[in-house]
Amino acid sequence: MKTIRKTILSKNFTLLVILAAVIVFFQIASGYTYLTMINIRNILNSLVIVALLSIGAGFLIISGHIDLSAGYIGTFCGMLIAHLIANLRWPLIPSFLITLAAAMAVGAANATLINKLRFQSFIATLAMGTVCNGLALLVSGGKYINVSREVAPVFISIGTSRLFGGWVPSSVLIAIAAMIIYGIVLSRTKFGRKVFLVGGNPVAARLTGLNTERVSYALFMNNAALGCIAGCLVTSRVMSGQIAGTTAQNFSGITAAILGGVSFGGGSGSISGIILGLLIISGFSNGLTVMKVEMQWVQIASGLLLILALTLDYFMSKGTARRKKIKA
């Protein structure tokens, strides 16, 4: 009985109920066209980019920080790799490594502003995001950079190829691999325990001899790297570097992480929760698209979903604190 009660009160159970409600609602509201194979493929396709952004955001939020630059970094990196491959005709691997290095340099700059100059993380990362947006415009000259299949066949196939008879985008494998790897890192490694300790009690972490700055640098650089991969995937998928890039998904990753039970106050969260948050976000956005809701209303709904995620985080954190107080 206690096990059942504990399961029902868990964050993941609440998320499963919300996910089920989203699926049922849109299936009925769309005239039973929501759960078609083509639409499920569309959901999986949109999930990949948000998955990468939400993992990086989730790790940072657990550690007590937030990064508003990941989407902008992805846009810059998508434009940069398109420029290197299409305009300069560089090979794929050197182009990707240079792009990844540029992204991680931005991540290191974010960490430096926060740890050395004591900027608030949301201010520092928003400023660096603006810089990245300007760099994307500088590299592209404000225009699309087309990447043809003839110039970069391997690069294009990564984002456009499909598995299982064309129903599942192959890039989904990248998201699944990332979820598994980062799930193991967060729950079963020493570094994962450090992330929780830094977010839960940074003073205690420092007193135990933990180098919190080093953890911060690793997480900001990791978030930038994941943003870079997301941006490159978008370029590969649409076969061009675009001004919009991953900027539109910037807050989707943060929303998915918070909705997935990653506490905005730091110190708690899980990859399984983030996965459920991702499914809710992707399913919700896709449902609005299937119902042909106008873009301005989609943006309003997305903002309200972020507010809902923060509200759930507030009440869940409050409930957890109350239960701990009663036990004490």
pLDDT at 184: 96
| Contact by Cβ (8 Å): 259, 281 | yes
| Contact by Cβ (8 Å): 312, 12 | no
Nearest to 25 by CA among 274, 311, 290: 290
- Domain boundary assignment for the chain: 48-270
pLDDT category at 325 given cuts 50, 70, 90 is low
Q: Is the pTM of this model over 0.85?
A: yes
pLDDT category at 7 given cuts 50, 70, 90 is low
User: H helices within 201-294, ranges in order?
Assistant: 202-207, 212-238, 250-259, 271-290
d(CA 49, CA 44): 10
Q: Collect contacts of 19-27 with beta carbons under 8 A, ≥24 apart.
A: 19/276, 19/279, 19/280, 19/283, 22/280, 22/283, 22/284, 22/287, 23/283, 25/287, 26/283, 26/284, 26/286, 26/287, 26/290, 26/291
Could you report the per-residue pLDDT of 205-234, keeping only the tens digit for each? Answer: 888 889 999 999 999 999 999 999 999 999
pLDDT at 9: 60
Q: Which residues pair with 163 in a beta bridge?
A: 168
Could you report the per-residue pLDDT of 137-166, keeping only the tens digit for each? Answer: 999 888 899 999 888 999 999 989 988 777
Q: Is the pLDDT of residue 268 over 90?
A: no
Sign of the alpha-carbon torsion through 196, 199, 204, 210:
positive
Percent of the chain exceeding pLDDT 70 equals 93
Other CB atoms within 10 Å distance of the CB of residue 217 = 19
Q: Once rounded to an integer, what is the mean pLDDT over residues 31-39?
A: 88
Give residue 2's identity as a one-letter amino acid code.
Answer: K
Q: What share of the chain is helix, strand, coil (3-state, %, to 5)?
A: 75, 0, 20
Q: Once rounded to an integer, what is the mean pLDDT over residues 295-317?
A: 76
Alpha-carbon torsion, ordered 36, 39, 41, 42, to 10 deg: 180
DSSP state of 146: E
Q: Which residues pair with 168 in a beta bridge?
A: 163
The separation between CA 111 and the C-alpha centre of its own chain, rounded to angstroms, equals: 18
Nearest to 252 by CA among 306, 289, 200, 312: 306
